[in-house]
Amino acid sequence: MTYSGGATRHRSRGCIVVTAESSQAIIERHIEKDPERPWSGTERLVEYHTPVWALIGYYYHGANQHVSQVAEDYDVPEEAVKAALAFYNSDRSVKSVIDGHIAANEAA
């Protein structure tokens, strides 16, 4: 099944599985490095400037892993939250840096 923007999704037991190709397209559409802090771990939503680490932290520690809850509480589109999750899961080093931000925030 193909949706607008060329994203390819497949239904599997009632769930939508986003392919790697479409994940990359979603990431490119919604995620950018903070131009004032262009190092790893400062990625944010393009339109909303919300840090990816904040969305991920809330997804796992506040919203019971519900994309719709994160989107509603941060007032961002669900696709942007999915882009943050895709980015987070795209690489172990990315995941490690974001986990560090979340841990530092929780310790503060």
6 token code pair: 């060329």
The verdict on residue 23 lying in a domain is: no
Q: What is the pLDDT of residues 29-39, one digit of tens each?
A: 999 999 898 78
Based on the structure, what is the number of domains in the chain? 1
The verdict on residue 5 lying in a domain is: no
Q: Please say if the pLDDT value at position 11 is more than 50.
A: no
Give the CATH number of the domain where residue 87 resides: 1.10.10
The verdict on residue 8 lying in a domain is: no
At 12, the pLDDT band (50, 70, 90 cuts) reads: very low
Q: Please say if the pLDDT value at position 69 is more than 60.
A: yes
Q: What is the pLDDT of residues 33-62, one digit of tens each?
A: 998 987 878 899 999 999 999 999 999 999
At 16, the pLDDT band (50, 70, 90 cuts) reads: low
Count Cβ atoms within 10 A of the Cβ of residue 9 and give its class: 0-12 exposed, 13-18 middle, 19 or more buried. Answer: middle
The verdict on residue 100 lying in a domain is: yes
Please indicate, yes or no, whether the overall pTM of this predicted structure exceeds 0.85. no
Mean pLDDT of 63-80: 96
The verdict on residue 12 lying in a domain is: no
DSSP, residue by residue, 89-100? TT-HHHHHHHHH
Vertex 40 angle, CA 47 and 93, to 5°: 120
The verdict on residue 38 lying in a domain is: yes
91 token code pair: 């690489």
The verdict on residue 68 lying in a domain is: yes
Q: Are 80 and 48 in contact, with CB atoms under 8 Å apart?
A: yes
The verdict on residue 16 lying in a domain is: no
Domain that holds residue 69: 30-107
Q: Please say if the pLDDT value at position 79 is more than 60.
A: yes
Q: Please say if the pLDDT value at position 6 is more than 80.
A: no
